[in-house]
Structure 1
Amino acid sequence: MRITADAERCIGSGMCVLTVDEVFDQRQDDGKVIVLRPEPPAETRDAVRRAVGLCPATAITLSAGLP
C-alpha cells in the first residue's frame, strides 16, 4: 500500500490525523495534510483506509505499491 495526498485539494479538516496520527500530520501554517509514512506498516492499514474514507475533500489516495 502506498499513500499519496493532494495538498492543494486538502481543506485541513484533520480527520486523517485524528484517525491515524502515526501516518498523517498537518502543516503548521495552513493545516494541510502531510504523509509521514507513505508506505504504512501492516498494522495501520485498516486505520489508513478509514482515514481515506473520512477525508471530506478526497485528498488522500491509496495505491497497491511502487511500480
Structure 2
Amino acid sequence: MIETALLALGLVLIVEGLVYALAPSLIDQMLVALAALPPEARRLLGLLALVIGLALVWAAKTLGA
C-alpha cells in the first residue's frame, strides 16, 4: 500500500513539475480561470479529480503495479 501511495505521489509531482517547467504562464491563466469559477464548480472539479485518481490507482494496482 505504501508503495502505491509513493508511486502515485511521485507521478503527480512529475506531472506538476513538468507543467511548471514547460508552461509557467499557463499556470497563471489556469489560476485566473479557476478563481472565476464559483466554489461549487471548484468543489465538483476536485471531487471529479479525486474519483478519477482513485480509479487510476485502483486500476494500476489491479494490473499489478
Is TM (by shorter chain) over 0.5?
no
Which is richer in helix? 2
Whose radius of gyration is greater, 1 or 2? 2
Could you say which structure has the greater relative contact order, defined with CA pairs below 8 angstroms and 6 or more residues apart?
2
Task: Compute the TM-score of the two structures, normalised by the length of structure 1.
Answer: 0.29
